[in-house]
Amino acid sequence: MSEEKLRKVFAENLKRQLELHGKQPVDLVKDLDIPFSTVSNWINATKFPRMGKIELLAQYFGIKKSDLTEEAVENSEQPAYYTDPETAKIAQEIFDDSDLHALFRAARGSKPENLAMAAELLSRLKGTNPDG
């Protein structure tokens, strides 16, 4: 793979992981103490990170280093929003529930237990709010 291609692949993978985890580039600056200019260079595919930074990012997202450095294989099936099928199932159940019928802005990688917890919380809040 050419150097330019490596940079582009990394940039796309990094953007995908940020989206999956509901993060913004600025979160990398704050959480990992990486200069903004460095993150910007990665996102814009103008620079490729050193191996130490790839390891740091992989740990941060809880993924393999190759998830950042290797070209992703596109899934041709119908795209599912949530990456965890159990989360997707719970989100659909909450939406189908006539008492709640709720939609969320949640990270694609949200855990099913967090969505279930949110549904429980919404049920309780709905019962206490004057607007119902």
Using CB under 8 A as the binding rule, whether residue 105 contacts other proteins is answered as yes
Task: Centre a 10 Å sphere on the Cβ of residue 109 and count the other Cβ atoms it contains.
Answer: 17
DSSP three-state, residue 45: coil
Give the count of beta carbons closer than 10 Å to the beta carbon of residue 124: 10
Written as one letter, the residue type at 75 is: N
Nearest distance, CB of residue 113 and other proteins, angstroms: 8
Contact 4, 48 (CB under 8 A): no
> Scanning residues 40 to 99, which ones bind other proteins (CB under 8 A)?
78-82, 88, 91-92, 95
If the CB atoms of residues 4 and 99 are measured against other proteins, the closer one turns out to be: 99
Chain residues that interact with other proteins, rule: CB under 8 A:
19, 22, 78-82, 88, 91-92, 95, 100-111, 114-115, 117-118, 121-122, 125-126, 129, 131-132
